[in-house]
Amino acid sequence: MKLPLAYYGNPLLRKKAEPIGEITEAIRQLAADMIETMDANNGIGLAAPQIGQSIRLFVLRRYAVQEDGTRVITDPYVYINPKIVEHSEEEESEEEGCLSIPKIRMQVSRPKRIKVEATDLEGKAFTHDLEGINARVVMHENDHINGVLFIDRVRGAARKRIEDELRQIKKKLGN
């Protein structure tokens, strides 16, 4: 089932989300609904606070390069209680957007490589070493479960330029 999105201005997006204890049938259903919601909105990642649940869970798809060089997106991954345990000193800047902040896209600087630990829907722990866009998506979603938005990582004149747009989003969509 496609779920309604929480938009910029919704206080849930600013809350530090709670860890998940037992992985119940309800959590499995929620993860499936989040994947459906992410895909329906053409997103590459979605965190639980974005659909109104303040718990430490996000879903995403990865970019992979095929043999012929074309970029495809992978099957979905589910991250429960994730923890970024290592990140590179080296950073890179790329454009980001967010389903909760429609139409705004900005350059955000983040570490190039990370190591992330999490639990999957079967309750099994896993570790992923990621870089580039795939690391970026994990960091963006991990920010969400800590109440942080990508626009918080943009400062100065660039951030000032979007203040009006942010106010409009909050007025029109903030729920």
Q: What is the contact surface with Zn ion in residues (CB under 5 A)?
A: 98
In the set 86, 92, 95, 141, the catalytic residue is 141
Q: In which residue are the tokens 């909105």 written?
A: 41
Tell the smallest beta-carbon distance from residue 141 to Zn ion (Å): 7
Q: Write the DSSP symbol of residue 34.
A: H
The answer for residues whose C-beta is within 8 angstroms of residue 59's C-beta and 6 or more apart is 31, 34, 35, 38, 45, 46, 76, 77, 78, 79
CB nearer to Zn ion: pick between 35 and 98: 98
Tell the smallest beta-carbon distance from residue 99 to Zn ion (Å): 6
Beta strand 45-47 with 101-111 is unpaired
Tell the smallest beta-carbon distance from residue 55 to Zn ion (Å): 16
The yes-or-no answer on residue 141 being catalytic is: yes
CB nearer to Zn ion: pick between 91 and 152: 152
The closest residue (CB) to Zn ion is 98
Rg (CA), the chain: 16
Contact (Cβ atoms closer than 8 angstroms) between residue 142 and residue 58? yes
CB nearer to Zn ion: pick between 23 and 99: 99
List, by residue number, the catalytic residues.
141
